Amino acid sequence: MLSGKTVVLGVTGSIAAYKIAGLASRLVKLRADVHVIMTENALNFIHPTTFESLTGNKCLVDTFDRNFQFHIAHVSLAQRADVLLVAPASANSIAKLAWGLADDMLSTTALAMSGPVLVAPAMNVRMYNQPVVQDNLARLREYGKIIIPPESGYLACGDVGTGKLASEDVLLSYILREIACKKDLSGMRVLVTAGPTREPLDPVRFITNHSTGKMGYAIARRAMLRGADVTLVTGSVSLAPPPFVRVVSVNRAEEMFEAVRERFEDQDLIIKAAAVADYAPLAIRDEKIKKQGGAMTLELGRTRDILAWLGERVKPGQALCGFSMETEALLEHSREKLIKKKADLIAANCLREEGAGFGTDTNHLVLIGRDSVTDLPLLSKDGAADRLLDELRAIWEQKNGAGGSGTDFSCPGVRRSGAFPKEGQDAGKEENADDLCG
């Protein structure tokens, strides 16, 4: 994910310095070129050899280290860096950054940075809450630096409160948001639905399906990494919510409809990846239904068709995508859905194909547009999400007269097979998506 990217980690004098070793290791596994700068005080908490072993690069401390491979170390490294993360950031280092002081390798490199600078405070709760520290953090925000809020909990000094360094996961998510992807969706608003709905029978039981939400969550996550403002309307799943995404949790199909209805008008891309129940019990019992002898009949009624409702109401500049999970005649049924629901794109997949059903980490999508069919290979769900976003962005650009820039995809390699085959015409291997279902 970070191949070709240079990440600089600035470690200052804090007991939390040891946590950055794990972060450095994870960044290296993502193929980033990681360089670590330590302040003199940081040497009291962790040895430079740790970082050198993990990153394969010399750990920098001395501003005037003549053994460093670049001519002027702090300037050269700042020019190469895609992002600088100062973590843990002590109160002293925050004050230096806020006021432009440059008296060591870290502060001089930070001052020379033209790319994003992330600052993750870590200190005693009383220090963190001091007005002068809060003023310095506010000053850094005014200068465009990104502050990663500390967590609350038990601190190394024995106090309890805010001041704990953000977790590795959080630190990594901030780095990925800045540099993992080209920001080709920047300024766009994307609405994604994901997961199953649950239609209750009584306080104990409900009707649902096998959707895990993985595909919808991958779309929301990748759209966020590509710069979009993302809203995720999700049914009940066991997945962690994607960072930096506005999450709206629902249970029933009617709740999902209301959440979408309230938010769809100001969106650019609308992606309906949720597995919404087609039917729901007409009556919900207040008490648990007791087991009785013989069969039981449930009376079900149709739920609201959210995709069809959207198809009737989307604005000319919006792009609408629905999903189609089929067990047979994938292309035929999905094409019918595209036309009937007035969508711009249908992402079809076959339940009977290995690696493309519910709960998998991969998916095989066939992207069906008004005049094209794009048969994607089996991909990770993140990879499939990127290809879908490429296709939908191109449709949005065509609708909004963006001058054909839709060909400059964030993830190259999308194949378009052209128009639908005419009735009775041999579609060929690439267009005959029904073959995917055996």
Q: What is the pTM of this model?
A: 0.87
Alpha helices in 314-380 (DSSP H): 330-341
Give CATH 3.40.50.10300 domain extents, the chain. 189-437
In this structure, what token pair is assigned to residue 378?
A: 């089996």
* Angle in degrees, 0-180, between the axes of helices 168-179 and 214-225, rounded to the nearest 10: 60
Start and end residues for every CATH 3.40.50.1950 domain found in the chain? 6-179
Please determine, for residue 12, whether its predicted confidence score (pLDDT) is greater than 80. yes
For the stretch 123-143, pLDDT in tens is 999 999 999 999 999 999 999
Cβ partners under 8 Å of residue 12, min gap 6: 38, 39, 41, 42, 86, 88, 89, 90, 92, 93, 106
What pLDDT, on the 0 to 100 scale, is given for residue 430?
A: 36
Fold of 189-437: Rossmann fold (3.40.50)
Number of residues that this document lists for the chain = 438
Q: Which of 157, 181, 350, 411 is catalytic?
A: 157
Least confident segment among 16-20, 70-74, 360-364, 379-383: 70-74
DSSP codes of every residue in 279-294: EEES---SSPPPP-SS
pLDDT the model gives residue 405: 42
* d(C-alpha 387, C-alpha 400), whole Å: 20
Secondary structure letter of residue 379 according to DSSP:
E
Model confidence at 422: pLDDT above 70: no
Q: Which residue has the higher pLDDT, 371 or 409?
A: 371
Residues 49-97 have pLDDT tens digits of 999 999 999 999 876 665 555 555 567 899 999 999 999 999 999 999 9
- 117 neighbors 106 (Cβ within 8 angstroms): no
pLDDT > 60? residue 323 = yes
Residue type, 201: L
CA 121/CA 140 separation, integer angstroms: 12
Tell me if residue 59 is catalytic: no
Return the pLDDT at 232. 98
Q: Could you give the percent of the chain with pLDDT greater than 90?
A: 79
CB atoms within 10 A of CB 10: 30
Say what the pLDDT of residue 416 is.
38
Higher pLDDT, 222 or 295: 222
417 pLDDT more than 50 = no
Look at the domain 6-179 and name its fold.
Answer: Rossmann fold (3.40.50)
DSSP label at residue 348: E
Q: What integer pLDDT is reported at residue 292 of this predicted model? A: 84
Give the residue with greater pLDDT, 330 vs 225.
225
Percent with pLDDT over 70 in the chain: 89
Question: Could you give the angle at the alpha carbon of 309 between the alpha carbons of 250 and 395, nearest 5°?
Answer: 100
Predicted pLDDT at 322: 97
The answer to whether residue 378 scores a pLDDT higher than 50 is: yes
The confidence band for 413, taking pLDDT boundaries of 50, 70 and 90, is: very low
Q: Helix, strand, coil: what percent of the chain each, to 5?
A: 35, 20, 45
The pLDDT mean for the chain works out to 89
Q: What is the DSSP string of 214-269?
A: HHHHHHHHHHHHTT-EEEEEE-S-SSPPPTT-EEEE--SHHHHHHHHHHHGGG-SE
User: What is the arithmetic mean of pLDDT over 175-190?
Assistant: 96
Residue among 58, 17, 70, 21 nearest 40 (CA): 17
Above 60 in pLDDT, residue 419? no
The residues, any chain, with a CB within 8 Å of residue 191's CB and separated by 6 or more, are 230, 231, 233, 260, 263, 264, 267, 269, 270, 271
pLDDT tens sequence across 13-54: 999 999 999 999 999 999 999 999 999 999 999 999 999 999
- The whole-angstrom separation of Cα 396 and Cα 385 is 16
Q: What is the pLDDT of residues 241-271, one digit of tens each?
A: 999 999 999 999 999 999 999 999 999 999 9
Query: Closest Cα to residue 395, out of 188, 248, 203, 252?
Result: 188
